[in-house]
Amino acid sequence: MSLSAALDRPAATAVPTSPIEIRPLTAGQGRGRLGAEVLGLDLSRPLSDSDFRRIHQAHLDHHVLVFRDLRITPAQQVEFSRRFGPLQIHVLHQFALAGHPEILIVSNIKENGQPIGLGDAGHYWHSDLSYVEKPSLGSMLHAQELPAEGGDTLFADQHAAYDALPEKTKQRIAHLRAEHSYLCKYEELRARSPWRPKLTPEQIAKVPPHVHPVVRTHPETGRKALFVSEHFTTRIVGLPEDESRALLDELFAHSTRDEFVYRHRWQAHDMVFWDNRSVMHLAAGTPEHLRRKLYRSTIEGDAVF
């Protein structure tokens, strides 16, 4: 079901949830429009259409929503995520939460000598699932167990990054397309990480590369954003290899400048919902001796043209 259809369908009940407050993050936490806190959301009760519309609009306005003190079950996370669209199942199915294949466990914890989740997720700047035909609309990441230090997540506003490009660069990249591949950094990460499993032939077959515009137009707001990342973008189609690499390196460096970035310092029971059409993200890293576990659900977006 499309997001527009989800917005138009009748609510399961007319009973409102508890009062919801949406607060843009302060200048000390984020810059410009990037990031807002959502307080008072109670997903143990049905979410009314009016509250859903407020959350949806805040997501479009601020790109990153931080739901504070959200005490929910995995089933409630899946149900809330589905209000925005169909959910995507990660190719690393071995790290899916038992009983909830829509949830990817992001964790550095080992049990019986084996990792319970993907421990190095977000090592490079990226937009989730940019390598599939219909890249992700957004991701929800719910904190289950947090380290005493480290574990921050950084978000970079790709609308602001595009707007700040020189006009000459905007003209140069206006009609360029780039290839995205899940395998781009996979073996490099496997070589340094105890968490990454070897992909089976069946898993590799599920993630063929896809080509998308370098400049993406947001399907709901019409705003332009850069849509390339160091993690998944392999080349710019039609350019010589050296020219492609030079341009990508230039765009990668520009897109994550400090003025575009919000650093999220996790608090207990936070759930962060970001727009993969508007931002990239990066895991700042967790000390190996400290435990970290989060549950991620990912919402399917639209094909990019």
Domains and CATH numbers, the chain: 3-300 (3.60.130.10)
Catalytic residue, from 49, 51, 128, 270: name it. 128
- What is the pTM assigned to this prediction? 0.91
Our answer to whether residue 296 is catalytic in this structure is: yes
CA distance 47 to 92: 31
**CB contact set of 157 (below 8 Å; sequence gap of 6+):** 32, 33, 34, 63, 260, 261, 262, 278, 279
Q: Mean pLDDT over residues 221-232, rounded?
A: 98
Q: Mean pLDDT over residues 90-115, rounded?
A: 95
Question: What pLDDT, on the 0 to 100 scale, is given for residue 3?
Answer: 53
pLDDT of residue 4 exceeding 60, the answer is no
Beta-strand runs (E) in 118-196: 136-145, 153-157, 177-180
CA distance 301 to 219: 9
Catalytic residue, from 212, 216, 231, 296: name it. 296
Question: What pLDDT, on the 0 to 100 scale, is given for residue 28?
Answer: 42
Catalytic residue, from 59, 126, 142, 212: name it. 126
Question: What pLDDT, on the 0 to 100 scale, is given for residue 195?
Answer: 74
Our answer to whether residue 128 is catalytic in this structure is: yes
Q: pLDDT class for 9, splitting at 50, 70, 90?
A: very low
Catalytic residue, from 123, 159, 210, 281: name it. 281
